[in-house]
């Protein structure tokens, strides 16, 4: 009886081992039938221009496109929105940004701004979505035109900005910082209106 029990136990163990081996083989075969997932392709690396002015034009164009995303994101009824009463509205922030671009562009180029003597922030006719987007994009086009018209050899020549003497290249950096600052401020305006701000556009 003991011998029969041992034989039966051996037989059942062999069957279990065989079944387990078969399952492993089937799993391996199924895995082999599937094509491996293609690796995610990273976006091609961007090659920045070696020429200083061409590089600046590329950066100003990127800034223009990024600001347009902010303008598009804010609904019409949010243009007059202020997070607190004592600060600029969304539209006024964008118009202040545009004022800055016309001012810096004029100072850097030595030519009169097309809006010389006008404070865009105070012009109610520019506070509709269509008019606001138009004037802000125009201010970027103006600055891009100024940069394209510069002689690279004159980037180190000095200009006066609010009484401060600096190379044109520094004035351009100040202009870029100014528009970044005011666009960045409007991020919280969008959040408070329940709108997701555009993703960062660093490149």
pLDDT in tens, 78-125: 999 999 999 999 999 999 999 999 999 999 999 999 999 999 999 999
For residue 2, what pLDDT is reported? 47
For residue 39, the model assigns a pLDDT of 62
Compute CA 1 distance to the chain's CA centroid, rounded to the nearest angstrom.
Answer: 82
12 part of a folded domain: no
Distance between CA 45 and CA 163 in Å, rounded?
41
Residue 168 falls inside a structural domain: yes
pLDDT for 48 equals 86
Low pLDDT (below 70) residues in the chain: 1-40, 42-43
Query: Alpha helices, DSSP H only, in the chain?
Result: 2-33, 52-73, 90-109, 129-148, 168-192
Asked if residue 70 belongs to a domain, the reply is yes
CA angle 162–168–169, rounded 5-degree value: 120
- The answer to the question of residue 7 being in a domain is no
> What tokens appear for 46 in the block?
């961007």
- For the domain that residue 61 is a member of, what is the CATH number? 1.20.120.450
- Number of residues in the chain: 203
22 located within any domain: no
Residue range(s) defining the domain that contains residue 83: 53-192
Q: How many domains are there within the chain? A: 1
In a domain, 83, yes or no: yes
- Structure confidence at residue 41 (pLDDT): 73
Position 31 in a domain: no
Identify the pLDDT of residue 34: 52
How far is it, in rounded angstroms, from Cα 94 to Cα 78? 13
What percent of the chain clears pLDDT 90, i.e. is strictly above it? 75
Q: What is the pLDDT of residue 50?
A: 82
**Cβ–Cβ under 8 Å, residues 92 and 121:** yes
Contacts (Cβ under 8 Å, ≥6 apart) of 64? 137, 140, 141, 144
Is 73 inside a domain boundary? Answer: yes
pLDDT at position 31 is: 46
Cα first-last separation, the chain: 82
């Amino acid at each position: 009886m003991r011998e029969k029990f041992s034989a039966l136990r051996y037989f059942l163990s062999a069957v279990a081992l065989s079944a387990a081996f078969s399952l492993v083989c089937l799993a391996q075969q199924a895995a082999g039938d599937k094509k491996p997932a293609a690796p995610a392709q990273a976006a091609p690396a961007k090659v920045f221009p070696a020429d200083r002015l061409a590089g600046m034009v590329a950066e100003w164009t990127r800034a223009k496109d990024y600001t347009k995303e902010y303008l598009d994101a804010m609904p019409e009824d949010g243009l007059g929105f202020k997070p607190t009463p004592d600060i600029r509205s969304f539209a006024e922030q964008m118009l202040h940004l545009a004022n800055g671009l016309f001012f810096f562009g004029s100072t850097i180029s030595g030519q009169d701004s097309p809006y010389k003597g006008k404070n865009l922030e105070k012009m109610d006719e520019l506070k509709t979505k269509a008019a606001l987007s138009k004037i802000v994009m125009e201010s970027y086009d103006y600055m891009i035109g100024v940069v394209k018209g510069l002689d690279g050899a004159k980037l180190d020549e000095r200009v006066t900005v609010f009484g401060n003497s600096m190379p044109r290249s520094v004035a351009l950096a100040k202009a870029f910082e100014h528009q970044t600052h005011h666009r960045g401020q409007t991020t919280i305006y969008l959040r408070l209106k329940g709108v997701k701000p555009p993703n960062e556009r660093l490149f």
